[in-house]
């Protein structure tokens, strides 16, 4: 069990998929098995994220200072935001309602409000990305004033620049279910401002968090396998749950 918080963004997303997967993620994560293809997607997502972070050469990487001491991220984030002017932070930590989220890139504006960028390596804005963003907006908005909350994803190469509510950067995890695998270094970024949409999701998120906390107060759920084991992500506990089914079949 982590110290100081119960849930993270990845555990929340896992919990939306399956209560048993959430429980295993918190209490027995060593059971998770990822395929080579999933690991390749993780690596690709990280490369794409690093490429976007490179567009903020003065960015301060909190994860480089605190490593796995994630409970300490919110305090250092607050200190850096309070003591600096227009600072750019990577992996800035915020905690509210027993949920810790780490934002890929946070830009502090002169008035103290924040522009937040979450980097996703897919080429479309999926529903999972929106849910992920909504949780982060819920947590961060209870800690600081948000000016904009943006998803950065790969610009479809065939699309011309879109100048509506998207911004395309030609110079400038998450690890997508719709990620393509071209070289991220030659790919411009599409930035989608979701600020106006995310506030409305707060009541639903608060409700889901309360349910997940309740799941974690009890023993492992006996959730049966089904279609949900593959959508939106292939669950890394399928071998474990399949073992249970095989044992039941022996009796």
Q: Where does this chain bind ligand SF4 (CB under 6 A)?
A: 17-18, 20-21, 24, 223, 225, 228-229, 235, 237-238, 241
* Closer to ligand SF4 by Cβ: residue 167 or 225: 225
Query: How many CB atoms within 10 Å of residue 34?
Result: 12
Provide, rounded to whole angstroms, the least separation between the CB of residue 15 and ligand SF4. 10
* Closer to ligand SF4 by Cβ: residue 55 or 238: 238
Nearest by Cα to 9 from 174, 146, 168, 122: 174
* DSSP structural state of residue 128: H
Provide, rounded to whole angstroms, the least separation between the CB of residue 18 and ligand SF4. 3
Provide, rounded to whole angstroms, the least separation between the CB of residue 37 and ligand SF4. 17
Provide, rounded to whole angstroms, the least separation between the CB of residue 124 and ligand SF4. 24
Distance CA 251, CA 248 (A): 6
What are residue 79's phi and psi, to 5 degrees? -60, -45
Query: How many CB atoms within 10 Å of residue 146?
Result: 18
* Closer to ligand SF4 by Cβ: residue 71 or 238: 238
Provide, rounded to whole angstroms, the least separation between the CB of residue 14 and ligand SF4. 9
Distance CA 127, CA 108 (A): 27
* Closer to ligand SF4 by Cβ: residue 32 or 87: 32
Are 132 and 176 in contact by the 8 Å Cβ rule? The answer is: no
* Closer to ligand SF4 by Cβ: residue 151 or 229: 229
Distance CA 77, CA 94 (A): 8
Distances from the Cα of 161 to the Cα of 3, 191, 206, 247, angstroms: 44, 11, 36, 55
* Closer to ligand SF4 by Cβ: residue 191 or 235: 235
* DSSP structural state of residue 30: G
Map tokens 């947590």 to a residue: 139
Provide, rounded to whole angstroms, the least separation between the CB of residue 19 and ligand SF4. 8
């Amino acid at each position: 069990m982590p110290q100081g918080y119960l849930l993270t963004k990845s555990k929340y997303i896992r919990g939306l998929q399956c209560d048993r997967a959430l429980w295993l993620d918190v209490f027995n994560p060593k059971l998770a098995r990822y395929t080579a293809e999933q690991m390749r997607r993780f690596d690709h997502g990280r490369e794409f994220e690093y490429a976007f972070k490179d567009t903020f050469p003065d960015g301060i990487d909190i994860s480089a200072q605190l490593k796995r001491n994630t409970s300490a991220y919110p305090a250092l984030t607050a200190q850096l935001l309070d003591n600096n002017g227009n600072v750019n932070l990577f992996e800035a930590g915020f905690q509210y309602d027993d949920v810790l989220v780490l934002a890929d890139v946070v830009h502090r504006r002169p008035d103290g409000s924040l522009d937040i960028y979450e980097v996703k390596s897919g080429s479309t804005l999926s529903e999972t990305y929106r849910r992920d963003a909504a949780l982060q907006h819920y947590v961060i908005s209870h800690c600081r004033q948000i000016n904009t909350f943006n998803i950065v994803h790969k610009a479809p190469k065939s699309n011309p620049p879109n100048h509506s509510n998207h911004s395309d950067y030609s110079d400038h995890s998450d690890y997508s279910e719709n990620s393509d695998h071209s070289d991220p270094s030659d790919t411009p970024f599409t930035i989608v401002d979701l600020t106006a949409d995310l506030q409305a999701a707060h009541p639903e998120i608060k409700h889901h968090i309360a349910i997940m906390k309740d799941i974690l107060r009890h023993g492992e759920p006996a959730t049966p396998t089904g279609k949900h084991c593959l959508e939106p992500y292939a669950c890394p506990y399928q071998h474990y749950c399949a073992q249970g089914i095989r044992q039941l079949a022996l009796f």
